[in-house]
Structure 1
Amino acid sequence: MEEKFAYIEGAEQPISMHPKKFALWLFMVTVVMIFAALTSAYIVRQSEGNWLEFTLPDIFYYTSGIVILSSIFLHWAYVSAKKDELVQVRLGMSIAVILGILFLIGQWYSWVALVDKDVYFVGNPAGSFLYVFTGLHALHLISGVIFLIIVLISSFRYKVHSQSMTPMEMCVTYWHFLGGLWLYLFMFLQLNH
């Protein structure tokens, strides 16, 4: 008895994602949920009154520019990695690391500026929320800078190139996410302080 096997053209491929990328996306979703909860709590608490009014430190504008620039240089490194232009990868990654560190230093100076305006972590909830937002974001940004450094070191070991893009793709995704998160927080605080 002869069996007939039919060839199915265009069979659907299962949707798949690298497990590390999937874990990164899950982590980013949890971060979004944390900041969504915090911003919701901010709005609810602000409506109750007893809210300190103050202007945000000017350094927030500079740090916003820094995070945008770092994303641009990191994206340049990513595009260069796809073309196997390793010198540009290393240069773009190095500049992104430096800008990430400058952002963190800028966050520290924003806290100094807040203290100069008599806005403290303890006291009025307006200040407390601002320190929590910026501190929690800085904590995530530290992990992002560490990730950048790891990928930068990998690029010097010839482990980042067009045939090995997963770490670079994850790094770019996470860093752009952190940059977008900061811009969201900054705009939220500008509109709701």
Structure 2
Amino acid sequence: MNAEALYKVSRDDFGGNPSGENAANHRRRGRAPASLGLWVFMGVVSSLFALFLTAYVLRMDSPDWHRIGLPWQVWLSTALLTAGSVSMAVASHAARRGEMAMARRALRLGGLGAAGFVASQLWAWLALGAMQVMPAGNPAGSFFYLLTAMHGLHVLGGLAGWGIAMSARGSGDTAVLRMQLCARYWHFLLAVWVVLLAALGWLTPELVRYICGTA
């Protein structure tokens, strides 16, 4: 084996400038920690919301529980978050194809959708306040504020990550990975929101007692 071949083997195997299959493996190893970290974070957040929903269901059987009507702004919020999630998916797919101009436009729209979601949620709170539904008093109203506030905080956290993704320049692996992680997180936020909306809008004490077999 000559000196050039020996150098190439050493470079590829021990952290030099990888190429070909070694380069692909190097990129996958670089993606793994960030991807795994996001999966772990989403698992923790899912557990947190599961605990809140469990408390919500248990509290519904109290005599002071009075169901509230959801303001129409929550449907606007749902549309905005759905549009943001779709835009993030478009950004992720475009980035994987190397179409970074389209990816960044879609990423920008996804962030605007999420910002609009937060604004529409504040509008929903104002609408409830106008109907005299306050955070204290009726536990149904208290849980609405609590659950939507917790979700809104996670959307704001996602917007911080979105800002980092928007700041990435070029078409390298880092920029593509950030867009893919943003898309995954936005899909997660939409799924959590749908579950919360179903619980807040359609779950009743009678339905809970029927499901639990205590009716």
TM-score, normalised with respect to structure 2? 0.77
Paired positions, count: 175
Post-superposition offset of 1:165: 3.0
State how 1:78-117 maps to structure 2 within 5 Å.
78-117=92-131
SS in 1 for 2:136: coil
**Over residues 87-119 of structure 1, what are the superposed CA-to-partner deviations in whole Å (9 max), with x where a residue is unaligned?**
101110111111111000001001001101111
Q: Which has the larger radius of gyration?
A: 2
The match for 1:37 among 51, 55, 67 is 51
Structure 2 residue aligned with 1:121: 135
Post-superposition offset of 1:138: 0.4
Gaps of at least 5 residues in structure 1 are 1-15
SS in 2 for 1:105: helix
Percent identical among aligned pairs is: 29
Q: Are the aligned partners of 1:69 and 1:99 in contact in 2 as well (CA < 8 Å)? A: yes
Say which is worse superposed, 46-55 or 83-92, in terms of deviation: 46-55
State how 1:42-191 maps to structure 2 within 5 Å.
42-154=56-168, 157-158=169-170, 160-161=171-172, 165-191=176-202
Q: Are the aligned partners of 1:82 and 1:162 in contact in 2 as well (CA < 8 Å)? A: no
CA distance in 2 between counterparts of 1:101 and 1:82 reads 25
Q: Are the aligned partners of 1:73 and 1:92 in contact in 2 as well (CA < 8 Å)? A: yes
CA distance in 1 between counterparts of 2:180 and 2:87 reads 14
CA distance in 2 between counterparts of 1:165 and 1:96 reads 15
Post-superposition offset of 1:185: 0.7
SS in 2 for 1:18: helix
CA distance in 1 between counterparts of 2:140 and 2:180 reads 37
SS in 2 for 1:188: helix
CA distance in 2 between counterparts of 1:184 and 1:177 reads 11
Q: Are the aligned partners of 1:151 and 1:168 in contact in 2 as well (CA < 8 Å)? A: yes
Say which is worse superposed, 160-169 or 142-151, in terms of deviation: 160-169
**Over residues 109-140 of structure 1, what are the superposed CA-to-partner deviations in whole Å (9 max), with x where a residue is unaligned?**
01001101111111121111110100000000
**Over residues 146-181 of structure 1, what are the superposed CA-to-partner deviations in whole Å (9 max), with x where a residue is unaligned?**
111211121xx11x4568532222211111101111
Q: 1:20 to 1:37 in 2, by over 3 A?
A: same
Runs of 4 or more above 4 Å deviation: 160-164
TM-score, normalised with respect to structure 1? 0.85
CA distance in 2 between counterparts of 1:46 and 1:39 reads 11
Q: Are the aligned partners of 2:107 and 2:179 in contact in 1 as well (CA < 8 Å)? A: no
RMSD, matched Cα: 1.6
Gaps of at least 5 residues in structure 2 are 1-28, 205-215
